[in-house]
Chain A
Amino acid sequence: MSFPWANEYKPSNAFMRYMDEKLPLPRFVYNAVGAGYPVPRNLNYFWNFGVLAGMALMIQIVTGIVLAMHYGADSSIAFGSVEHIMRDVNSGWFLRYAHQNGASMFFIVVYIHIFRGLFYGSYKPPREMVWHLGLVIFLLMMATAFMGYVLPWGQMSFWGAKVITGLFGAIPLVGEPIQTWLLGGFAPDNAALNRFFSLHFLLPFVILGVIILHIWALHIPGSSNPTGVEVKSEQDTVPFHPYYTAKDGVGVALFFLLFAVILFFAPNFLGEPDNYIPANPLATPANIVPEWYFWPFYAILRAFTVDFLFIPAKLLGVLAMFASILLLFFLPWLDTSAVRSGHYRPLFRKFFWFGLIPTIVILGYCGGSHATDGIVLISQIASAYYFAHFLIILPIISRVETTKPLPTSITEAVLGNTPANATLQPAE
């Protein structure tokens, strides 16, 4: 679906006319990310991050495929094959650092994309399906990143695999058989490494498929915008191309600049030194930590220290960690406010900037730190706020809040309510 005023694809020569008749792929692209997709004219730079996330995935797929040509998925040679890539493969160091830090870049842009959605109420009707598919992508990304981190078979790879598959071991009665089944053994070893490699190669293509569904679902209602007011007329929109391809270009350049600075000048800054030590099942690292993008969830996992009746603390932590992500699926029904954008919701906005964001930052800090008494105490309080924010505070806010008046249209929000609006040229 699109708006009735969307530009129509016109094949420019005989070949394209032939293509359009036999396989209208150019028409499909034109309507999806070309001039045939009308987009609200007031999107800010936070709307760049969907495109950036898609690009980050492509970087991961391209570098990953080449890396897989040189990598050996066998516990006896995996670590050495990564060093072979770093030293002997032409530009192997570049591919490997690009893939390693590309994962971080992917998570940076996806987190901003998610928080954009949280602030501007992008999860609300009619875009619930977009939000749900996005969360599916996020879960797949987490699984892919985790399995990718195991492949170099360093100390953190091994112990990370042990801890994360150990989460399934917390399930009552069947937990340990499930863990053994997942790993193909009693501890991470060759069987686990091989299946993780296989799935790490497969899942990015599954993500790609779900991204197509995500964009498809988005294009049915069309993109949201910073005011949260729906598109009313043609002058509220501009064609995606060239307007937003040009704006995304700026975002892409900035993305690559940050990526280049990390990749070329601090490629190991985001990593853990222990992963340059080959996996050793007999030596536990002093501090087992996941990559930075899992820190907030790891802090929630470790925050549960006391058994509740017959439920062991470990199981509570596992349940809470999964719940912390799964609860996002329920957001469209938890936040019932009719106003989408945080700009027009004074109370929501306060809790977002002074409650949720600091909480996530604190949880991230705690998850990356050694679990001392003080750190555990802080993560408990922060985790308590995290759950309260989404499950208790948000539903209450959306009931009691007095929202600010919305602009009557997107054009009014952009240009002000002046008589000149009436004479504005319609978007081309």
Chain B
Amino acid sequence: MIRIGAFLVGLFFSGWLLVSAAMGAFAFVTAPTAPTAEHEFHKPAKSVDFSFDGPTGKYDRAQLQRGLQVFKEVCSACHSLQYVSFRDFKDLGYSDGQVKTIAQTWPTETPSINPDTGEAATRKPMPADKIPSPYPNDVAARAANNNAVPPDLSLMTKARHGGSAYVYSLLTGFQAPPAELKEKFPASMPGATTHYNPYFANLNLAMAAPLTTDGQVTYGEGAPKATVDQMAKDVTAFLTWTAEPKLENRKRAGTAAVIFLLIFLGLCVGAYKNVWADKKKAHA
């Protein structure tokens, strides 16, 4: 009974799947799906090397500091870092005093209340505060940016396929739309408030190129030349740190764990051979 029932159920599911497949194949041949603009023009992230790549990679502190500078002078005009505190910047190699100065001179103030009246107010950020958003709320952010909310960047390098390479590619990927796009997919051309970037999932995004000219940010002495490429790399490294601040602890612990486990494996194999010696002997 079970086998007859199973046979019928199997016949139904398999049969109907094959019928569906045949119908799908027929539809595919007679009316193939039109290719999309994204399919033809979207590019995978560029390949780029960072100091934190690989199993022993570390952050380059000087690069993170430059990245912070780019973030502070460019990105922070629209984006927040709501999961990062000013005090976390000590990881970038700053002292307590320097962190305090960075907080006090941050371009955006922290929301607060007036201690006398209780009315909404703002104050200078303290090291314990999170990096404030330049907008009081999403409605204000939307209103100021053609109806697109600038996302929080704390986790950006972990929240997109391609990770850090994607962020770097996006920052350096703004360009004029190719003539071919206009011919084949006029609907996918950037509008008045969107900007073409082949690394973005649907090709046009609300953000305009944030890094446009070499020397847009003035790096301190001894730093590499502030080209667009260099600034994009530096801020990407900084945003990788904001997304994964414990990366160095993780890799260090991992190296120790793997070494320990290799020794442990050796001991286990030895114990196994020892215990089984009398059972294997009979083999000879």
B144 interface contact, C-beta 8 A: no
A80 at the interface (CB under 8 A from B): yes
In the assembled complex, which residues on chain B have CB atoms less than 8 Å from the CB atom of A260?
254, 257-258, 261
Q: Are A86 and B201 in contact (CB under 8 A)?
A: no
Contact with B along A365-386 (1 / 0, CB 8 A): 0000000111011001101110
Q: In the bound complex, what is the Cα–Cα distance between A222 and B13 (angstroms)?
A: 37
Q: Return chain B residues, CB-CB under 8 Å to A425.
A: 278, 282
A376 and B21 alpha carbons, distance in the complex (Å): 8
B189 shortest CB reach to chain A, Å: 21
Would B55 and A305 count as touching, CB distance under 8 A?
Answer: no
Q: How far is the CA of A303 from the CA of B21 in the complex (A)?
A: 9
Please state if A238 and B155 are interface contacts (CB–CB under 8 Å): no
Residue in chain A with minimal CB distance to B250: A264
Pairwise interchain contact A243-B276, C-beta atoms closer than 8 A: yes
Residues in B whose Cβ lies below 8 Å from that of A277 = 151, 155, 159
B residues less than 8 Å from A305 (CB atoms): 20, 23-24
- Nearest-neighbor residue (CB-CB) of A268 within chain B: B158
Q: How many residues of B contact A (CB 8 A)?
A: 59
B253 at the interface (CB under 8 A from A): yes
Known: A94-B253, A273-B159, A415-B282. A334 touches B24 (CB 8 A): no
Any B CB within 8 A of the CB of A252: yes
Task: Considering the complex, give the chain B residue whose CB is closest to the CB of A421.
Answer: B282
Establish whether residues A253 and B282, one from each chain, have CB atoms under 8 Å apart when the complex forms. no
Contact between B272 and A250, CB atoms less than 8 A apart: yes
Inter-subunit contact B261/A333 (CB<8 Å): no
Q: A243-B276, A320-B13 are in contact. Are A380 and B161 (CB under 8 A)?
A: no
Contact partners of A415 in chain B: CB under 8 A: 282-283
Provide the A239-276 mask, 1 if CB < 8 A to any CB of B, else 0: 00011001101101110110011011101100001101
Does B179 have its Cβ within 8 Å of any Cβ on chain A? Answer: no
- Find residues 305-343 in chain A having any chain B CB closer than 8 Å to their own CB: 305-306, 308, 313, 316, 320, 323, 327, 330, 333-334, 336
Q: Mark A79-90, 1 if CB is under 8 A from B, else 0.
A: 010010011000
Interface size on A, residues (CB 8 A): 68
Q: Which residue of B lies closest to A311 (CB)?
A: B16
Residues of B within 8 A of A323 (CB): 9, 13
Q: Is the CB of B257 within 8 A of A41?
A: no
Contact A83 B154 (CB under 8 A): yes
Q: Give me the 10 closest cross-chain CB pairs, A-B, nearest first.
A: A264-B254, A391-B10, A276-B159, A380-B21, A253-B265, A384-B17, A249-B268, A246-B275, A384-B14, A387-B13
List residues of A whose CB falls within 8 A of some B CB: 41, 80, 83, 86-87, 93-94, 97, 238, 242-243, 246-247, 249-250, 252-254, 256-257, 260-261, 263-265, 267-268, 273-274, 276-277, 286, 303-306, 308, 313, 316, 320, 323, 327, 330, 333-334, 336, 372-374, 376-377, 380-381, 383-385, 387-388, 390-392, 395, 415, 420, 424-425, 427-428
- B contact set with A: CB distance below 8 Å: 2-3, 6-7, 9-11, 13-21, 23-25, 28, 33, 55, 83, 88, 151, 154-155, 158-161, 163, 201, 243, 245-246, 249-251, 253-255, 257-258, 261-262, 264-265, 268-269, 271-272, 274-276, 278-279, 282-283
